[in-house]
Amino acid sequence: MKRWVKFLLFALVLGVSVGAYALLSLHNAGEEAKKNAEGNEAAVTLRSGDAKQLTSISYKYQDSKINLVRNEDDSWSSADFPKLKLDQDIIYNMVYGSSTITATNKVEEGTENDATYGLDKPSIELTLTDTNGSVTYQIGVENPVVGGRYCRVGGEKQVYIIEGTVPSYFEFTLLDLVSLESLPTISIPTINGISVITKNVSLSFENRKERPETCYSSSFDWFYPDSSGTLVPLDSAVIGTMLTSLTGVKFDKCASYEASQADLAKFGLDQPSAVVTLRYTDATDSSAKTFSLYFGKEDGRYTYVRMDGSDAVYEIYTYQLSQLYSEKLAEYLPQDVTAITLTELDSFTMRAGDKSVRVDIVRKKNADGTVSSEEPTYYVNGTQVETSKATQYFITLRTLTVGGVAENGENIASSPEVTVDFVRNTDYFRNMRLEILPYNSSYYAIRFNGETRLLVSRRDVGTLVDMIRQAG
């Protein structure tokens, strides 16, 4: 037993010693480099060239080799994938960032400590070719004392320390260099249709410039055709936010620049989890066009996505999906208690139990019979009042806090707590009723225009009931 204890203690001491030796080696190398720097013994220019004379860049990073060549128009492309569009800004930094490479410190001449410096397996192996020929730079780990990275030039044995900014210009894979495509420019006013297709639902939305006869308000311009063909109005603000997000999608990075069928399967894009399609009118020739985004698997923080007309697969942050589409029709439906406005009302009457308040809105007429733009006169239960006193009832109703959707119809009471009868000055839906019905301990349900859907705050309804009782 004692023999085993001694063995374990020996192994532990040996492990600590090895680790300490490695750290000490780096520290000693750093201290030596620091002394050299203070004596100006190591200030060496390893490269000084004209960036415009650089003809190719080749480097190894993260087990991949990237070969870049300068084109006749001074742009840069991949020697292995010439059709691939690359981010010229990143390559510009490579070209000009490496035009001058200065060693801030000399370390030692030899290869026996390459493992300590990370030069036995360089993190970056960079070859720069210009009109004078090619030079290779091997770049290792960072020095913990003076900063910078260990470096060796070509076949030399001398080890230097160079500034860390130079290696940072080349810490990119080929996928990182891909110039991310942008969506085609689609003006939101030209979009006349949206479809959302997932494995669970198929939704289609239409934009209408004129109010359908089945719609009570001209404020709605987006509709969902239900199974009977009835156009169900949608929330314009929700659709507007969705379209702004869709037409402004920015890809975060490229996952594959020429995705094969096997790649599409790997990314979940052979059978997309969702397809969102925009139907729009081309601004140049007024032709009808469509554009689709295909969404694949989620991979941690990212979701794979592909767009029409591209062989590339990109990644976007998964949290963005909720801004781009929803499977739930209820999330597109109006989120306001009612879209009726004061300007289209002649009167409205609110009732709570045996109490009621009636607000009449009297507008002056011009000589030609049109309605005057002057402020109307308001009456509450027959008595003329200030505008704010009359409109407070309507404002309180319109701003009831919506808390969700009434999913369980059995919870809705048959007798309303509050009823509101509207008399409108429109040629359609002149008389309408809104009812507020008990639902549970937290919410009331709204029944309006024959539909019971939204839930509103019980506390807010209590405030409205108190106002009606005080007026009545």
pLDDT of residue 263: 95
- The pLDDT, as a whole number, for residue 33 is 44
Which CATH class name applies to 188-331?
A: mainly beta
**CB contact set of 80 (below 8 Å; sequence gap of 6+):** 67
Residue 368 pLDDT = 85
**Regions of the chain where pLDDT drops below 70:** 1-42, 472
Q: What is the pLDDT of residue 471?
A: 86
Q: What is the pLDDT of residue 369?
A: 79
Extents of the domains making up the chain: 2-177, 188-331, 342-471
* pLDDT in the model for residue 408: 74
Show the tokens assigned to 110.
């030899």
What gap in Å lies between CA 466 and CA 462, rounded to an integer? 6
Instruction: State residue 146's pLDDT score.
Output: 83
pLDDT of residue 2: 37
Please tell me the predicted confidence (pLDDT) of residue 407. 79
